[in-house]
Amino acid sequence: MALMLRAALGQMEVAPGRPDINTKTMLEMMEAARQRKAHMIIFPEMAIPGYLLGDTWEQPGFLRDCENYGRAVIEASRGICVLFGNVAVDWSKTGDDGRVRKYNAFFVAGNGRLHGEDNFPYPFRIKTLHPNYRLFDDTRHFYSLRKLALELGKRVDELLQPVNLEIAGEKISLGCILCEDGWSDDYSVKPIQEICSNGPVDLLVNISSSPFTLGKNNKRNRVFAGQAGKTGVPLVYVNNVGIQNNGKTVYTFDGFSTVYSGKGEVLHHCAPFRQALEVVEINLFRDGDCSPGVMPPDDRGAASIYQAVSYGTERFLRSTGIERVVVGLSGGIDSAVGAALYTRVLGPGNVLLVNMPSKFNSLTTRNLSMKLAGNLDCLYTVMPIQESVDYTVEQLSRTPVTDLRGGKEFNLTIAPLVMENIQARDRSARVLAGIAAAFGGGFTCNANKSEMTVGYTTLYGDLAGFFACLADLWKHQVYQLAEYLNEQVFQREVIPRGIIDIVPSAELSFDQAVDQGKGDPIIYPYHDYLFRAFMEHWNRATPEDILKWYAEGLLEEKIGCKPGLVKSIFAGPAEFIADLERWWRQYTGMGVAKRIQAPPVLAVSRRAYGFDHREAQNGVYYTSEYVRLKSSLLGD
Amino acid sequence: MALMLRAALGQMEVAPGRPDINTKTMLEMMEAARQRKAHMIIFPEMAIPGYLLGDTWEQPGFLRDCENYGRAVIEASRGICVLFGNVAVDWSKTGDDGRVRKYNAFFVAGNGRLHGEDNFPYPFRIKTLHPNYRLFDDTRHFYSLRKLALELGKRVDELLQPVNLEIAGEKISLGCILCEDGWSDDYSVKPIQEICSNGPVDLLVNISSSPFTLGKNNKRNRVFAGQAGKTGVPLVYVNNVGIQNNGKTVYTFDGFSTVYSGKGEVLHHCAPFRQALEVVEINLFRDGDCSPGVMPPDDRGAASIYQAVSYGTERFLRSTGIERVVVGLSGGIDSAVGAALYTRVLGPGNVLLVNMPSKFNSLTTRNLSMKLAGNLDCLYTVMPIQESVDYTVEQLSRTPVTDLRGGKEFNLTIAPLVMENIQARDRSARVLAGIAAAFGGGFTCNANKSEMTVGYTTLYGDLAGFFACLADLWKHQVYQLAEYLNEQVFQREVIPRGIIDIVPSAELSFDQAVDQGKGDPIIYPYHDYLFRAFMEHWNRATPEDILKWYAEGLLEEKIGCKPGLVKSIFAGPAEFIADLERWWRQYTGMGVAKRIQAPPVLAVSRRAYGFDHREAQNGVYYTSEYVRLKSSLLGD
């Protein structure tokens, strides 16, 4: 007995919230797969509705619509077996919220009918493990197999049965799992093991809607290859491409659909970030004689960052219908990288670069801006802001305020920091927003993750914009991306060396004069890593941990910055602690308030600001252990 | 056998993320209760850490800190039995996310030690039902009793045991439940029934951290009185006061702690929105001879809206350290209500009202602004924006843009709508933000829920501000609040009648001239209710439902607006559909983009924007059934 299964991987681009578009894509791919003599076509999890839809799941009209489109796919399954994800609704039951019961479901159809009801309460399979960390929200909307088992008074493993069907005259048994079901390490239930022990299983199929994060595909390959090798069952993983968002955070989906042999080798993988229909032959029942494995690419470096950021930006523009953008050009690294990226995505004729000097902007950065614009061949203009800023300062400080309780008048005073922020808002909310509207497009937010962490930005100023495509990159990653753009993407120095080499500065006062080497208060080679420990570490560090590591001499190792750095920056514990508290205060204080009103962030890392990093405006807190440690270090 | 139990309700104000402050409050209340001869003191759910903390639960340092403070409370329980909520950590196990295992736990302590380990795996009880709808996020962080049962291979009901202890020489048996455990209607598990069937139970105690929403306390009383009456067991409900937030949405907590007799009567309730320690005598074992019930107040009307909004605003200012505010005064209803509220909360000397006329602002609204300022006795100034707006239009349209591909120059054109938004941003991002910084405070966002729904606001313009205290009130509720402020709060006409009677208008062009009766495109008496159906209905309405109801003549009844209204507004289906699609497009299109960058919203309703109304920027969608209905109505 042997079957060379021709399986088509339907690595489709899913349009979230658009069952009409997605069904059209699926029907087209099914037809193409049929022509290529595939036995089976596999689509991603939630292929019909999309996965990240906010609370759209609460609209019964939308659910009925998804059901209808799902029926169309099932009806079109003549001559091919189709596996796909959709929401399944049990209108006779409710979820824990009292709304109609919804499942994140795996459908197996062939010749117009569904398979699997012989050994399961429904004619589809449902997700067992619902991720509820990071951006994931499955438990909010869907009823899991764990809850169903509890309700039915059954054991979870009783419900984890393979789906039996016949293909090309052979009976085969599918282990159908949905995304997180394949990542069971931290759960008490292990779906793959359970299904296999209810087997035998001939093929494991994991349909996913799995967002890209830097280095995640390396991990997928380790985990899935391990599962195939351990069970001895070939495994097909199908993931979608495209972008999806939950408002504040925008995720790219890399696809990277992959077939693993029962020995745990990668037999085939689709290219990332590209819709693809690929037919792969999988030797079922006799896994020995398959072709040698292929090596999937490493997905950790600058190339992956560029790929995700440019793909995500292009798709975000497309989905919001923005065809032209305005980028405020300061002569610094962030806006330069933003300008180069958008030019690459939209073409130079759709990118308007605006330099907005005040009296604090050096000739150096003004020239660098002009040079960058020239290298990119974009639309370019210079709109000085000094007159307008002077007018505002004059108006605010000269217009009397009346105290109506007694009729006395007084005047407001504009302090230097207030003036800095007036400049930043003048640039964004007055000039850029106005130009963008006149130009018929949006203006970009060029903030990076280091600034976002500590709110080193002005609300309605440089934090404004329709999209923050660099805001999940630490400053050192922005530099990496700049080098990559020059060397690999444009293959010439579009971002002038001077912009890469100059000290990072906001140039909002003479204290930030770049030509005197003055700039930002953030020491990126250290603070990038300190901030990362605050927000990205799975077990998030607080000042208590940082201070303990500092006292033990373990800090650089623990946060991953260059050895010897801490001693070279801080004279002693007093300076170290003052710096630590300064940034912790910013991160948990004003930083939160600013992020609440920040633009959508494009996710790259394992933890992006927004829906993946939920936070309350609760102010600054130090644990009692921190207070004790600090006191002992300072010798109080 | 009888015991007159003296139970102290510790309706404390919980400071979220501040175990130090909360523990201090608890220790003081314990001392006071001891002096008042209470046998027992009951604190709310999560009394030590607070409840809405975003992802702070991922900081092991914070968890250790909460444990330490919890130990201090347990140690202080000499001579009094203390019941309180805290996070409980099992450092030897993990949750589904691989992080350390956390429980939302109920501790019962007396004479320095914990009770309850005799019939439960831990010396505390844990929450069974984790709400995962609206703003609630329990499943993200905590391991439920349902999951624990699954892990231990036990039935849920086996784990739902009463806590046995001795008070005043009598053995009593407590049914300990946490918040949602008392709202089990939609769950397959009913904790109270299970505990009682493992009883007998002498007293049910529900510790909660339950946010206020309009009319919720009426519902609490129905649900809890029903439980006490049905089981025949007295029930004590203790809830905290204060505010807590999850960034985008700020919740007030009304407390309203209540004691129900075993007959389901309200024996006693604490006043809402006020920290209180009240000792109530509860006749255990012999419930018959208790005092007659009291009647808790209705919490649905304008008085409750005012109470919640003024309390929430006052606490939000306090928690963010903002002592002075700037309110932009347009002469319209929203800014007038905002000005009156802030004046009430902060006193007139800390509120600076700013009128910012352009050439489009009528003398009518300018005079009304001045009159309002005079009535409130605040600080007042007039900062005209026409010069600055003219300057911006001039600069943007006169500064040439160069196309660097060929060197050609062109100029931008400022269309009328672009000019409207330039005005709005000039007011907020230039004038108000600058004044607020100079004044040493924040400036307010006066947006209401109707505007927020359809994005009838300008980003970085009238949508800017540190806090949007009216953004969960429909326009008709803002008017209700205006009347209430005049009649009940100030007891004189502080908000001039003219402001209440004038047509609502943005006055950003001559097309919005109030003196000619021209104003907003939103017809509030109808659209308030249409928008409410889109966003507040538990099963959210889409155009499909609306159109169906319209066709069936059921629309007014279904959405709750005045009968006959729809026919009086729309000539026929074509006009009705054009209007429906216009606002649906705004609600699911630009409205989403704007809300992502909106300020924190104070929640009043059962569904506020922000964390309670999760949404993706996925664009506008119509179901296929809608398309069909529309086509049939239009006779296509």
What domain range is A532 assigned to?
523-636
**C-beta of residue B401 within 8 angstroms of C-beta of residue B435:** no
How close does chain B come to A83, measured CA to CA in Å?
Answer: 23
Query: Which chain A residues are closer than 8 Å to B180 by Cβ?
Result: none
Give the lowest-confidence range in A286-300, A343-357, A586-600, B569-583.
A286-300
Which of the two residues, B516 and A351, has the higher pLDDT score?
A: A351
Confidence grade of residue A438 (pLDDT, cut at 50, 70, 90): very high
**Who among A188, A434, A625 is closest to B392 (CB)?**
A434
CATH number at residue A136: 3.60.110.10
Query: Which chain A residues are closer than 8 Å to B616 by Cβ?
Result: 16-17, 52-54, 56, 244-247
Last residue of a domain, one of A520, A554, A572: A520
A567 and A430 in a single domain? The answer is no
Query: Which chain B residues are closer than 8 Å to A538 by Cβ?
Result: 58, 98-99
In this structure, what DSSP letter does residue A489 have?
Answer: I
Q: Searching chain B, which residue's CA lies closest to the CA of residue A130?
A: B96
**Who among A20, A246, A379 is closest to B616 (CB)?**
A246
Determine whether the interchain pair A245/B65 forms a contact, defined as Cβ–Cβ distance below 8 Å. no
Model confidence over B546-571: pLDDT tens digits? 999 999 999 999 999 999 999 999 99
Model confidence over B32-52: pLDDT tens digits? 999 999 999 999 999 999 999
B539 and B404 in a single domain? The answer is no
Q: How far is CA A532 from the centre of its chain?
A: 16
- What pLDDT is stored for residue B147 in this prediction? 92
Query: Which chain B residues are closer than 8 Å to A630 by Cβ?
Result: none
Confidence grade of residue A580 (pLDDT, cut at 50, 70, 90): very high
Q: What is the DSSP string of B486-511?
A: IIIISSS--S-HHHHHSPP---SSGG
On the question of pLDDT at A106 being above 80, the answer is yes
Q: For the residues B144-157, what does the mean pLDDT come to? A: 93
On the question of pLDDT at A290 being above 60, the answer is no
Name the burial class of residue A413, with classes exposed (0-12), middle (13-18) and buried (19+) by CB atoms within 10 angstroms of its CB: exposed
Alpha-carbon gap, residue B306 to B345, rounded angstroms: 12
State the greatest distance between any 2 C-alpha atoms of chain A, in Å, as a whole number.
Answer: 99
Determine whether the interchain pair B614/A430 forms a contact, defined as Cβ–Cβ distance below 8 Å. no
Query: Which chain A residues are closer than 8 Å to B24 by Cβ?
Result: none
Which of the two residues, A259 and B514, has the higher pLDDT score?
A: A259
Alpha-carbon gap, residue A132 to A439, rounded angstroms: 42
**C-beta of residue B164 within 8 angstroms of C-beta of residue B215:** no
B546 and B626 in a single domain? The answer is yes
Query: Which chain A residues are closer than 8 Å to B97 by Cβ?
Result: 132-133, 186
A508 and A532 in a single domain? The answer is no
Share of chain B above pLDDT 90, in %: 92
ipTM of the complex: 0.96
Q: For the residues B91-101, what does the mean pLDDT come to? A: 96
Helix (DSSP H) and strand (DSSP E) numbers for chain B? 23, 22
> A444 CB contacts (<8 Å, ≥6 apart)?
A325, A326, A327, A328, A338, A342, A465, A466, A467, A468, A469
A494 and A535 in a single domain? The answer is no
How close does chain B come to A633, measured CA to CA in Å?
Answer: 18
Q: Searching chain A, which residue's CA lies closest to the CA of residue B94?
A: A186
Q: For the residues B377-386, what does the mean pLDDT come to? A: 98
B473 and B567 in a single domain? The answer is no
Q: How far is CA B189 from the centre of its chain?
A: 27
- In Å, what is the CA distance from A479 to each residue of A204, A223, A403, A451, A606? 42, 32, 52, 14, 19
Q: Is B25 helix (H, G, I), strand (E, B) or coil?
A: helix
Substitution target from B460, B594, B629, B630 for chain A, most A beta carbons within 10 A: B460
B430 and B332 in a single domain? The answer is yes
> A248 CB contacts (<8 Å, ≥6 apart)?
A598, A600, A601, A609, A610, A611, B596
Model confidence over B602-633: pLDDT tens digits? 999 999 999 999 999 999 999 999 999 999 99
In this structure, what DSSP letter does residue A515 have?
Answer: G
Alpha-carbon gap, residue B162 to B324, rounded angstroms: 50
Q: Searching chain B, which residue's CA lies closest to the CA of residue A137?
A: B140
**C-beta of residue A271 within 8 angstroms of C-beta of residue A304:** no
CATH number at residue B308: 3.40.50.620
- What pLDDT is stored for residue A3 in this prediction? 86
**Who among B18, B387, B430 is closest to A426 (CB)?**
B430
Share of chain A above pLDDT 70, in %: 99
Query: Which chain A residues are closer than 8 Å to B50 by Cβ?
Result: 618
Strand partners, A101: A90
Q: What is the mean pLDDT of chain B?
A: 95
How close does chain A come to B253, measured CA to CA in Å?
Answer: 15
Q: Which residue do the tokens 């420990």 mark? A: A533
One-letter amino acid identity for A632? S
Determine whether the interchain pair B186/A247 forms a contact, defined as Cβ–Cβ distance below 8 Å. no
Model confidence over B159-191: pLDDT tens digits? 999 999 999 899 999 999 999 999 998 888 999
Model confidence over A44-71: pLDDT tens digits? 999 999 999 999 999 999 999 999 999 9
Last residue of a domain, one of B476, B497, B520: B520
**Who among A59, A399, A541 is closest to B383 (CB)?**
A399
Q: Searching chain A, which residue's CA lies closest to the CA of residue B371?
A: A404
Which of the two residues, B512 and B331, has the higher pLDDT score?
A: B331
- What pLDDT is stored for residue A455 in this prediction? 97
How close does chain B come to A285, measured CA to CA in Å?
Answer: 34
A283 and A158 in a single domain? The answer is yes
Confidence grade of residue B286 (pLDDT, cut at 50, 70, 90): low
B65 and B176 in a single domain? The answer is yes
**How many C-beta atoms lie closer than 10 Å to residue B635's C-beta?**
7
B242 and B383 in a single domain? The answer is no
Alpha-carbon gap, residue B219 to B633, rounded angstroms: 40
Q: For the residues A30-54, what does the mean pLDDT come to? A: 98
Q: For the residues B263-286, what does the mean pLDDT come to? A: 93
Query: Which chain B residues are closer than 8 Å to A223 by Cβ?
Result: none
Give the lowest-confidence range in A109-113, A128-132, B294-298, B632-636.
B294-298
**C-beta of residue A250 within 8 angstroms of C-beta of residue A312:** yes
Model confidence over A356-366: pLDDT tens digits? 999 999 999 99
On the question of pLDDT at B291 being above 70, the answer is no
- What pLDDT is stored for residue A158 in this prediction? 95
> A13 CB contacts (<8 Å, ≥6 apart)?
A25, A240, A241, A242, A275
Q: Is A602 helix (H, G, I), strand (E, B) or coil?
A: strand
Strand partners, A86: A105
- Strand ranges for B528-602 from DSSP E: 601-602
A285: left (phi over 0), alpha (psi -120 to 50) or beta: left
Query: Which chain A residues are closer than 8 Å to B320 by Cβ?
Result: 593, 617, 619
A436: left (phi over 0), alpha (psi -120 to 50) or beta: alpha
One-letter amino acid identity for A552? E
Confidence grade of residue A288 (pLDDT, cut at 50, 70, 90): low
Q: For the residues B427-436, what does the mean pLDDT come to? A: 98
Model confidence over B98-119: pLDDT tens digits? 999 999 999 999 999 999 999 9
B19 and B89 in a single domain? The answer is yes
- What pLDDT is stored for residue A517 in this prediction? 86
**Who among B349, B391, B433 is closest to A391 (CB)?**
B391
Give the lowest-confidence range in A195-199, A589-593, B62-66, B512-516.
B512-516
Tokens of A240: 């979608």
Confidence grade of residue A286 (pLDDT, cut at 50, 70, 90): low
Model confidence over A138-179: pLDDT tens digits? 999 999 999 999 899 999 999 999 999 999 899 999 999 999
Q: Which residue do the tokens 């739902």 mark? A: B160
How close does chain B come to A17, measured CA to CA in Å?
Answer: 6
On the question of pLDDT at A375 being above 60, the answer is yes
Helix (DSSP H) and strand (DSSP E) numbers for chain A? 23, 22
Determine whether the interchain pair A614/B401 forms a contact, defined as Cβ–Cβ distance below 8 Å. no
Query: Which chain B residues are closer than 8 Å to A250 by Cβ?
Result: 617
Tokens of B296: 């808790």
How many domains are contained in chain A?
3
Determine whether the interchain pair B625/A437 forms a contact, defined as Cβ–Cβ distance below 8 Å. no
**Who among A248, A400, A404 is closest to B378 (CB)?**
A404
End-to-end Cα spacing for chain B: 79
On the question of pLDDT at B292 being above 80, the answer is no
Tokens of B93: 């196990």
Share of chain B above pLDDT 70, in %: 99
How close does chain B come to A117, measured CA to CA in Å?
Answer: 24
Q: Which residue do the tokens 């009682």 mark? A: B196
Substitution target from A401, A422, A628, A630 for chain B, most B beta carbons within 10 A: A401
B514 and B528 in a single domain? The answer is no
Model confidence over A466-500: pLDDT tens digits? 999 999 999 999 999 999 999 999 999 999 999 99
Last residue of a domain, one of B300, B331, B353: B300
How close does chain B come to A89, measured CA to CA in Å?
Answer: 14
Inter-chain contacts counted by CB atoms under 8 A, chains A and B: 386
